[in-house]
Structures are given as structure tokens and as C-alpha cells.
Structure 1
Amino acid sequence: MTEKLYVLGHPVGHSKSPAMYNAVYEKAGLNWHYGLMDLPTAAEAEAFLAARDFLSINITTPYKPQALAAADSQAASARLAHGANVLVNANGALIAYNTDGQGCVAYLEGAGVSFRGKSVVVCGTGPTSLSILHAVAQAGPAEVILVGRSKDRARDVLRIYVDELGALVGRTVDMPAFKEGHLSFAELYDRVNFKYGSYDTSRQAIAGADIIIDATPLGMNEGDGAPFDPALLSARQTVFDVVYGHGETALAHAARAAGCAFLDGAGMLVGQAVVTVGILRDITGEEALGMPEDELFSLMAAAAGFDLAR
């Protein structure tokens, strides 16, 4: 029997996920097929989730909150992000994860970016932003600043994240870091300085940041501007934009013009996919998926047509 796997979202026609995952499943000799599930409305997405006719799905904009709500159990990564980008069907029970942050940080660190002791700005207040904020915090920065269009919204989102993180730390055995040299949940809760603001009120923080991560969808549509005033950028900064495959975004153009080190979301897509394959290996017990992470990254990047030498 062919196992069915999908990427759920709208729009997803540009997605490289089918090419990446099918390359892995073909090499592993598995009768699994990964396809697109482009559903324009929330009602259609919720009906698809309720049917549970899949082994696993990846979820992109705008259905990460619906995917979380459909799950029977939630990993801390999905709970803290308030959205899931991976659902795995384990004998009829849906388990939710969010691999965006882990994939983002793994890719950036593989590209030579160090978060240790740095000031990091994360743009956006949705599930992708929160997943990245959490993974960045585990990488040991001095401070992480969440910024959005509304200062009140950023404050509320960050307060909920910190409160929920504290509750997890207080009632469970400390959750270790995914990677050696990173912080556990308790360590990041105690050590990392979390701040918030808006694009207008946080101009000094944006200009002073070592690393800026734009986790908003700006750039997916023609005419989208940068989330903040690009005049704040300087050559000493590293800028990362989660958007890929839509031409040069306004932020990418501004960052390159300012002399920043710039990376786009292609590497994060591959990085989170590598994490997802590991989750599927662990849940299904398919030993054929136990390829080294560097091999998986190279295979999936090549299948997507990305030039991402590590």
C-alpha cells in the first residue's frame, strides 16, 4: 500500500517539498508518495485534517493553527509556537510538531552564523516567528527581540510564550537542547533576555541587532515592502528572510545593498525537512530513513534545485 504524504496550505504551487521528500523516499526504497494539498479555505483544510487520510503532512501558511488544533498530542515545539508545521499519523492519532525553528537555526549555524551572546531580532508574531524565536533562544543569544506591526500584539504574544515556557519548565523534567552547546528549556528561561516592540518603536534595537530574522510572509506577493525601514541596516549585520522562490524580496534587496550577509528561506526549508524525516523515522521505525543529516540535506537541496553547499 502506498503511504500518502502532503504539504497543506494555500498557495503551495511553488513548493519544493514534493521534490525533496520524494527524492528521500525513493532513495530509501519506500512506497511513499508526497504531493500538494492546496486548499483555498479553512473549512476545506479542516475537513482534510479531520479525515486523517495521510501518514504525515507538512503545513504552511495559513493553516498551522488549524493543524495544531486537529492534533491529539502536541510536542512542546508546536505548543509554544501555537501552530504545527508537521502532523504525523501514528496509528490514527495525530502528533503535532513545529520544525521551523530548529530547521532555521540548524541551517544558519551550518552556514557559519553564531547566535552565542548575540542580539537577535525576530520579525513577526505568528507560529513561524515563535518557533524560530524559541530555537534561536536555545542557541544561546544574549537577547531576542520580537517585533511586529503592533507593539501591543508583540507584547501579548511574547508574554504568552514566556509564561507557557515557564509552565513547561516548572512542571516537567528539563527538556534538553537538540544540539550540543545549546541551552535546555530551563537554561534559556533563566538566561535569555526577551524583549518586544514594533517596527516603529524598535528602530534602535533593529539597527543594533547582530542578526535579523524576518519570519513574516512579506515578499510572497508582488509589491510587498520590507517589514521595517531598510535604512536601519548596516554591513555588520546578518539578515535572514524565510521567504524563498518569489524573486528578490524588498528586504533581500536592501540587505545586499547595505552590505549585510544575507540568506533566504531555501536553506530553512531543507533544514526543517531534515528534522521532519528524523521524526518520521522515529515514529514509523523505518530504518531506511536513518541517513546522516548532512547526506539528507545535500540530497534534498539538490532535488529542490538549491545551491546550498555546507
Structure 2
Amino acid sequence: MSGSILLGLIGEGIGPSRTPALHEAEGLAQGHATVYRRIDTLNPPARDMGIEEILKAAVATGFNGLNVTHPHKQEVMAHLDEIDERAKSIGAVNTVVIRDGKTHGYNTDVTGYARGLSEGLPDADLSRVVQVGAGGAGFAVAVSLIEAGVAELLVADIDPERAQRLADNVNAVTGGNKVRGVPTAGIEEEIRTATGVVNATPVGMKELPGTAFDTSCLTPHQWVSDVIYMPIETQLLADAKAKGCRVLDGSRMAVGQAVASFELFTGLKADVDRMRATFLAQGEA
């Protein structure tokens, strides 16, 4: 890749996003002036534009690529020239590469979590995992877990039907029957016999403090993962550490997703450690 790099993020309420700094610092470190714009659809001018119009404007003005976040990951798919098979199977696009005037859609959420798991907990026992939360990032995390080698995955949600839908979809995508949906009521009994636990709910964010289940059920032999990265140490991870569990914080997935997107945008090999350092340097704010 030669010259400068122009990227952006489409989403609602994305002011606090750490993604711009990750891409700008990595591009610059590799010798390319890099600009990463927030395209917040809650605010003008993007608020008054449709996704198709935003994409056309990005192509016309020479953007190299766009990240896409809530609530546009599904909506954007109808307006792309090509979509990667993996993104099609997941039903969501979070990375749009612009090449020769055409838009190409990818999903790096699955690979992002998988990279974080392999780097942060390379020898995790994947025999029996409980994932709490079947919305938002839940699908990508569940697919990642099965592809990483989880033998049995229980997905718990307040809405048991949503949990089972997610389980059915993951089983279809991964070609197996290792995933089962269960209600969150009484999930602590299932967690006690699990080798690993993943929080894929928003509970634990600064705006929604606490934990999604009673952490007194955790045991020291377990590993515990959280997809939340603001704060990096959630109440769940603090409780898990106090119990003697090994933990995986949400920064791993966030950085892994950004690494994969940067490489798709630029064709350059990203430095994972450098991008993680940039992420952590932004603190808890």
C-alpha cells in the first residue's frame, strides 16, 4: 500500500470509540498518514443520510474502508457490491473495504474474539462453556467458541426463545449440534460445572454496573471472559480474579477485530502488540 489511508466508522453514539486511534496509530507506525473519521448517524450530516448515501459518499471521496457498528451491521449488507461468505453466514458486516470503486463486506467480530481467546488463554479448557447473553455480540462470540473447539456450549438469555434461536443459527453455521439455548434463571447451577464462562451481555458496562449472574458460583479451575471493554476490568472479572479464575478481558476481542479490519483495509500486516498498547493507553475513559 502506498500513500495515505482514509477510513471511517459508521454507527450511533460512537464518540467514545477507541477504534480511530487504533487505526491512525498503526497506519502511521507503518509509514502512512492515516485519518479515521467518525460517521455518527445520530448527528448531522450523517443523521440525514441513508446508509446507501453514506457509502456512495465514502467511495466518491476516496475512503479506503469503513467499520460498521450498531445498529447498521445488518442494514449495510443490502447496499454492498460483494459480501464475504463468512459475513453472509453470520448475517452481519462490520468491515467494508473500498477497492476500485466497489464495496466489499466482511465480518471480523468472529476472528476478533477467536484471536483474543488464543492469545489471552491459549490453553483454556474448552470442554463445557456457558455463554450468558444471546444478543448483540452473542452470535459472533458463540461461533468463535465453537470454531475454537468448544465441545459443549450453553447460551443463556433472559428470553429463552432468543437463546435457542441463536443456538440453532450457530449450529447451522458451524455444521454441528454443540450449542443449546437455556434460560438465565438458575444458570448458576450450569456455571458450577462449566470449564469456562463468557459474559456477552451489556451488564458490567459503566452505564449498567453489576454482573449478569451470581458470581459466587465461580470456582478457581474456571476461566472467565467478558466482551465488555469499558471498563476493562468489569465487576465480573474482578470477582473471578478474587476466586482464582483466569480471565480474558474485552480489550482482546476489540483489538483482534481492529487488527483484522486494518489488514483488510490496507493489505498490511498489523502489529498486534502495538495496537493493543494503543488501545490500553487510552485508559478507562
Pairwise TM-score range, normalised by the shorter structure: 0.7 to 0.9
Aligned twin of 2:269 = 290
| Structure 2 match to 1:280 | 265
For 1:45 and 1:126, the matched residues in 2 are separated by 25
Q: What is aligned with 1:57? A: 66
- Are 2:48 and 1:48 aligned? no
Deviations 1:131-182 (A, max 9, x none): 121122111121122221111111122223333x2xxxxxxxxxxxxxxxxx
Structure 1 residues 234 and 50: CA distance shift in structure 2, 3 A? farther
User: What residue is the counterpart of 1:236 in the other structure?
Assistant: 221
The alignment status of 1:108 with 2:117, answered yes or no, reads yes
Residue of structure 2 equivalent to 1:305: 280
Residues 255-279 of structure 1: CA deviation (Å, up to 9, x unaligned)? 2333322222112211122222222
Partner residue, 1:212: 197
Quick one: structure 1 residues 220 and 11, their matched pair in 2 at CA, closer, same or farther if it must change by over 3 Å?
Answer: farther
Distance 2:78 2:249 in 1: 30
After TM superposition, give the deviation of residue 34 of structure 1 in Å. Answer: 1.3
The residue correspondences of 1:76-95 to structure 2 (distance < 5 A) are 76-95=85-104
Which residue of 2 is the match for residue 74 of structure 1?
83
**For 1:40 and 1:99, how far apart are their aligned partners in 2?**
24
Deviation at 1:85, TM superposition (A): 1.7
Distance 2:194 2:49 in 1: 41
C-alpha contact (below 8 Å) 1:72/1:94 kept by paired residues? yes
Q: Which runs of 5+ in 1 are unaligned?
A: 166-184, 283-288
> In structure 2, do the counterparts of structure 1 residues 79 and 202 end up closer, same or farther at CA, with 3 Å as the change threshold?
farther
TM-score by length of 1: 0.77
Verify: 1:142 aligned to 2:155, yes or no.
no
Change (3 A) 1:77 1:120: farther
CA spacing shift, 1:306–1:121, aligned 2, 3 Å: farther
Compared with structure 1, are the counterparts of its residues 121 and 141 closer, same or farther at alpha carbon in structure 2 (3 Å cutoff)?
Answer: same
Aligned-residue RMSD, C-alpha: 2.7
Give the secondary-structure state (helix, strand or coil) at the position aligned to 1:141.
coil
Q: 269, 274, 277: which is aligned to 2:254?
A: 269
Contact 1:68–1:78 (CA under 8 A) maintained in structure 2: no
1:28 paired residue among 22, 30, 34 = 30
Q: CA deviation at 1:306?
A: 4.8
Quote the Cα distance in structure 2 between the aligned partners of 1:115 and 1:258.
17
Q: Aligned partner of 2:14: which letter?
A: V
Instruction: Please tell me whether the aligned partners of residues 187 and 213 of structure 2 are also in contact (alpha carbons under 8 angstroms).
Output: no
Distance 1:11 1:219 in 2: 19
Gaps of 5+ in 2: none
The corresponding residue for 1:259 is: 244
Identity rate, percent: 27
Which stretch shifts more, 147-156 or 298-307?
298-307
Contact 1:147 1:202 in 2 (8 A): yes
- 1:305 maps to amino acid: L
8 Å CA contact retained: 2:232, 2:249:
no
